[in-house]
Structures are given as structure tokens and as C-alpha cells.
Chain A
């Protein structure tokens, strides 16, 4: 029973896996990239452009968490690392006076370094224990943001974030900055997953012991994925604080971490398209239901219940069900 429970954390994989090498994949990716690039021209007004920016930012977090989840470890501290990245960028700019590209580098390096330090300790735990311990770790980091007032401004946050270079400061410019970063992150994650490391990652999720017996350095590969995922999400933290000209601890709570997990689960945990669909769904839906704030949360909550109850493979799994794939030759 106990074993069944812990393996339930790993999605039923073989049943719904859709190969990225299927015939339709290049067409799908191509049209998605085209849509992303053409969005500023297609968007009816600034509001929709804003939604586009938010979706792009969320895609960074969702795709980077996907890299971690593919090893079979569901992390609930992803938003904390995003916060570390955000504060790293803002503080290196305001305190050290570094230029924008260096801020972004700091936003990747600091959370990645943290992940590299704690990863080998935390990643020994699997299943629900990893979920719970990362949940608590996220809370500790959030408390540190709130309590370390001299550095982070505490609960008030930091207001006076200097503007970006003029070309990037316009809504369209910022959209392309976010979209470019998101596409680069997604491309990197896809490249890693398609490489030999990616195959090690998949083998660890499917059977950790077997992978170890076959010579996969399990803890090392897990730490690698965790470090890269946490580093990438730092970019989202940095970009969204530039977007809002403001950073405070409420953006990095366990609720946001859960949102990242939800994006992955609602989309699909077995394919990189899943978290991107999830991010689109999770960010765009509430924005479009803005008029009815309470009702929006209620409807959204019920949708989560229904999707989780009826669609175990997520929205992307639906694709595999409606159009059953031909057997792989």
C-alpha cells in the first residue's frame, strides 16, 4: 500500500506519453513559436499584451519545474528560488550598481548555488517526504525574505527598482524580452531532456534503483536537474520584479510554488508541452475572469477538482486520448 502511494506521485507514464518525434510535433511547435512572436501584433489591446507577458514569465517557472519533476521529485519550494533570483537581481542593481545583463546572471547563479548546496541533502528523500520538506524549506526562505529587513525591505518590499534600458521598458519591448527568455529556457530544457542526461532523468523517474544498478549516478543527475531548474526560475523572479517595478515576499509564497506544480499537473507531467499549456491556462484564465473576483476563484477551484478527478494525464494527456497515437515503429 505504502509503495503504491509513493509511486502514485510519479504519473502513469507509458500510457499517455506522446513522443516529441511524432509527425505533428514540429508543426505544433512551429505554430506556437509563430503565435508567440506575432502576439504583439495580434493582441487587440494592451491588456492582452500584458497577459501575454505574464504567460511568458509563468512559462519560465513551469518549464524549469518540469525539469525537476521529470526526475520524479515534486518540489514545493520553486517560488522560493524564484524569489532568491528576484532579490539577487534587484539587489545587485540597487546596492552594487551592476548592469542589467549582470543582474540577470546573478538571478540565475544565486538560486542555482543554493540549490546545489541543499540539493544533495534534500534529494535523498523521495515521494511525499520530498514534497513536504521542500514545502517547509519554501516557508523558511519566505520568512527570511520577511525578516531580513535590512536587505530585503521586509514585508514592505523594495519600491525603487530603476527602470530597464528604454528599448526594453516599453510594453512591447518587455514582452519580447520575456518571450525571448522563456523560449530560451524552454529550448534549453527540451535540449537537456533530449540528451543523454535526459534519458538518465527519465530512467531515474521510472525506477531509481534500476537506474542506479545500470550505472546512472542518481543523486548527481537529480542534483543537476534541481540546480538547473532552480537557476532558471530565478530569471522569472528577476523579470517579474522589473515588470512590476516592485518586489515583496508575498509573490514567493507556497501558493505560487503550488501554482507551478498545478501548471505541470494540469498540463501534463510527461511532456514539456504540458507545463506550457498549464501556464497558459493558469495565468490567462483568471485574468480573463477579472470582472468576478470571488467567482473566478470558485470556478477555478472547481475546474481543478474536475480536471484532477477525471483527467489523470492532464490536459495534454487528453490529446493522446482523443487521437490515440499509432504504435511507435
Chain B
């Protein structure tokens, strides 16, 4: 049963799931960390990313590697214009949850109007298998991992090496102090929003390609980003990365050997237990006690 081929498959599934989960959850945690917004519309953006990729690559036949970032940019551009919806909700957590849930509903059903409810599939970009050391790997999955790693590396460099990244980190720690140091919070919000939407739209495209595309496909990424972000600690960027990797591999291992419903049970159960014991998550900072 535990052949190297199976283990390789499990590992590859885990790695590609993790890559997508990290992309989704990073945007979610970024919005939460900086704007204190619980983005219930996150899944809808993933869905739009999927349809953008479908249109550009599947319908117009752009070359794949150009279509992926173009699709993500398309969604991000649309959402920068939409930022006037989000602006109402910055630093208003409960209102943001419900208002953005409404936005999610509006986007999802607009997509139903435009593309109907049937599931579609995006044609595989790299069909075929790659043989490494006697093991077979589907090329599609490897490419998903590659793209996600490239984007994540770019994001990491941006956050740690540039002045805008520094400003973003400062704003996520304390907006008022950051503004007092001359950081334009509105610009930072727009930037963070753009980056978050870009990443989730890209992840949505990759997700839709591996699984399937429908207006309701956003539910799963939304749920995943919840779990990942709680696991890692809300608002913590390394936490989202760690949480995504843990969840991706756990799901891949458990669902291969025990079935997918048990894997959901276990991952949710563990997260609840973790929340009760350590509410701030694995890498989050505990909340300050009110004096």
C-alpha cells in the first residue's frame, strides 16, 4: 500500500493544495491584518479569477503563462474600482462580515446571470506526466506549485525589501502611529487590497483548473482561508503560510488514506481545540489585555 509512487502522489497533492491555500489565505489575512475587514467576499474573487482564466485561456486562447497573471490582474483591476464598497467597512469588523457577505451574494449571482450555473472545466495547460527517478508526476500540478511559489517569493520580497512593504507592515501593526510617521494609510489600503485580490484571483484560476469552475466554487476557498488563518493566527502573514502548508498536507494525507469527510472532521476539530487552548493561533500575537 505504501508504495513510493503513492507517497510521491500524496506529497505532490499536498504541495499543490498547500500552494493554493497559502495564496488564498495570504490575501484574507492581509485584509484582516491591515484593514480589520473579514472578507466574506474572498471566495467570490477566487471565482472571478477562475472565470477570467477561463475566458482568456479557454475561450480566447492566450498562451497559458500570459493568461494566468493577466486573468489575475483583470480581477484586481476591477476590484480597485470596487474599493468604494470596501472603504465603508474598514475597521468595522462585524459590519464588514455581513456587508461583504452581501457583496459575495451579489457577485456570485451576477456570475450566475452571466455564465449560468453549470460547471465548466478549463482545458489542461500541460497534459501529460513527467518522470522523475521512476516516479510519475502530472505536469499540471508541478506547474501550479511553480506559479504559486513564484508569486509567493515575489510577495515576500515586496514585503521585506521595499519601502511600500515596510509601510504595509507598519500599517498592519498600528495605523495611527504609521500615519503619524507620514504613511498614507489610504494608499496602503489600496495597495494591500490590490495584492490580496491579485493573489486570491490567481489561486482561484489554479483551483478551477485542478477541480472545476462554477459560480459557487468560491465557498471552498473561503472556508479554507478561514481555517488556515485561524490556524496560523489572524493577521499573521507567516502564520498564513504555515497554516496553509499544514492544512494542505494534512488534507492530502488524510483524504488519501481515510476519505475526505474524515479529513474535514479532523482538521476542523483540531482547529477548534487549538482555538480554545490558544485563541491567537500558532504564530499570532495574543491580544493585549485591556488595562
- Cβ-defined partner of A1 (8 Å) among B92, B94, B174: B174
Query: CB of A304 within 8 A of chain B?
Result: yes
Looking at A3, A9, A129, A301, the one whose CB has the most chain B CB atoms below 10 A away is A301
- The answer to whether B94 touches A297 (Cβ under 8 A) is no
Q: CA of A300 to CA of B106 in the docked complex: distance in angstroms?
A: 7
* Pick from B88, B107, B271: contact of A136, CB under 8 Å: B271
Contacts of A147 in B (CB 8 A): 261
Residue in chain A with minimal CB distance to B116: A294
Chain A residues with CB under 8 Å of B290's CB are: 3, 209
A214 within 8 A of B: no
Q: Give Cα A294–Cα B95 distance, bound, in whole angstroms.
A: 24
Q: B14-50, CB under 8 A of A: which get 1 and which 0?
A: 0000000000000000000000101000000000000
A4 at the interface (CB under 8 A from B): yes
User: Is residue A36 contacting chain B, with contact meaning CB distance below 8 A?
Assistant: no
Complex Cα distance A295/B269, Å? 37
Report Cα–Cα, A124/B103, bound state, in Å.
31
Contact A133:B95 (CB < 8 A) given known A3-B290, A128-B234, A297-B109: no
Contacts of A121 in B (CB 8 A): 276
Assess whether B109 is in contact with A298, with CB atoms less than 8 Å apart: yes
Chain B: CB-nearest residue to A269 = B94
Known contacts A143-B261, A294-B112, A301-B104; A4/B91 CB under 8 A: yes
| Interface pair B38/A128, CB less than 8 Å apart | yes
Quick check: A304 and B99 within 8 Å, CB to CB? Answer: yes
Checking A6, A133, A305 against B272 with a beta-carbon cut-off of 8 angstroms, the contacting residue is: A133
In B228-255, the 8 Å CB interface with A consists of 230, 234
Contact: A125 with B95, CB < 8 Å?
no
For A303, the chain B residues whose CB sits under 8 A away are 102
A304 and B38 in contact, given A133-B276, A136-B271 (Cβ under 8 angstroms)? no
In the complex the two chains form, what is the Cα distance from A137 to B99 in whole Å?
23
Decide: A140 near B268, CB < 8 A? Known: A8-B91, A147-B261, A312-B95: yes
Number of interface residues of A (CB under 8 A): 48
Best-surrounded residue of B104, B106, B110, B234 (most CB of chain A within 10 A): B106
Interface string of B274-291 (1 = CB under 8 A from A): 011001000000011010
A308 touching B272, Cβ below 8 Å: no
- Tell whether A74 is near chain B: CB-to-CB under 8 Å: yes
Query: Shortest beta-carbon distance, A148 to chain B, in Å?
Result: 11
Q: B85 interface residue, CB < 8 Å from A? A: yes
Does residue A41 face the partner (Cβ distance < 8 Å to B)? no
Q: Is the interface of A mostly helix, strand, loop or mixed?
A: helix
B86-100, CB under 8 A of A: which get 1 and which 0?
A: 001101111111111
Are B112 and A300 touching (Cβ within 8 A)?
A: no
How many Å from the CB of B289 to the closest CB on chain A? 9
B199-254 residues with Cβ-Cβ distance < 8 A to A are: 223, 226-227, 230, 234
Give the docked Cα–Cα distance between A232 and B279 (Å). 29
CB pair A305–B102 under 8 Å, yes or no, is yes
7 A-B pairs, CB-CB below 8 angstroms? A5-B36, A8-B36, A8-B91, A8-B93, A133-B276, A294-B113, A305-B85
Known: A301-B101, A301-B109, A308-B88. 8 other contacts (CB 8 A): A136-B272, A262-B98, A266-B98, A301-B102, A304-B103, A308-B99, A309-B85, A310-B88
> Interface on A for B, CB 8 Å cutoff?
1-6, 8-9, 11, 74, 121-122, 124-125, 128-129, 131-133, 135-137, 139-140, 143, 146-147, 209, 258, 261-262, 265-266, 294-295, 297-298, 300-305, 307-310, 312
By Cβ-Cβ distance, the 5 closest A-B pairs, closest first, are A304-B102, A301-B106, A308-B99, A301-B105, A309-B88
